[in-house]
Amino acid sequence: MIQEVVYRTLCCGAVHGMEAHSLLETIMAKPEELYQEIIVETYYESGSGLHGDIHVRCIEGQPFPTHLRVRFPRAVRQAHKVPTRFRVAGKLSDREGGNEFIHTNHAWGYHVEK
């Protein structure tokens, strides 16, 4: 359902002669991947050169490996102590520089796990 909403938002209507499917692939990396409900956690990693010292990864037992970075809103990471676990919708992506990562949508919200 989530992908259907994104597809309809991006692809309904004419876009300068570009086919809808081509446009979707241009905007979304790995469009065949579905968003899944996953549990992620914050952790510290200093000196990595990436967007501060608080990062996010999947916990063990989730459908994605724990070594993949999770794109997650900085404000949420900083608002909760480390480690904090969150339930979010995420999908595999590789849009940024070719390395795979887990994409979450900041507009969809999250649930703090106890």
Within this chain, do residues 16 and 56 fall inside the same structural domain, yes or no? no
Looking at residue 95, its pLDDT comes to 72
Out of 18-22, 45-49, 56-60, 86-90, least confident range: 18-22
111 neighbors 48 (Cβ within 8 angstroms): no
CA distance 1 to 56: 25
Within this chain, do residues 28 and 38 fall inside the same structural domain, yes or no? no
Within this chain, do residues 63 and 17 fall inside the same structural domain, yes or no? no
Within this chain, do residues 67 and 90 fall inside the same structural domain, yes or no? yes
Within this chain, do residues 43 and 87 fall inside the same structural domain, yes or no? yes
Place of tokens 């900083």: 78
Within this chain, do residues 56 and 107 fall inside the same structural domain, yes or no? yes
Q: Which residue has the higher pLDDT, 5 or 61?
A: 61
Work out how many domains the chain is built from and give that number: 2
Angle CA 78–105–21, to nearest 5: 155
Within this chain, do residues 6 and 53 fall inside the same structural domain, yes or no? no
Within this chain, do residues 60 and 87 fall inside the same structural domain, yes or no? yes
Beta strand 70-71 with 36-44 is: unpaired
Expressed as residue numbers, the domain containing 19 is 1-32
Residues in a beta bridge with 92: 102
CA distance 26 to 23: 5
Within this chain, do residues 23 and 61 fall inside the same structural domain, yes or no? no
Within this chain, do residues 91 and 43 fall inside the same structural domain, yes or no? yes
CA distance 26 to 62: 28
Looking at residue 48, its pLDDT comes to 66
Looking at residue 72, its pLDDT comes to 95
CA distance 15 to 17: 6
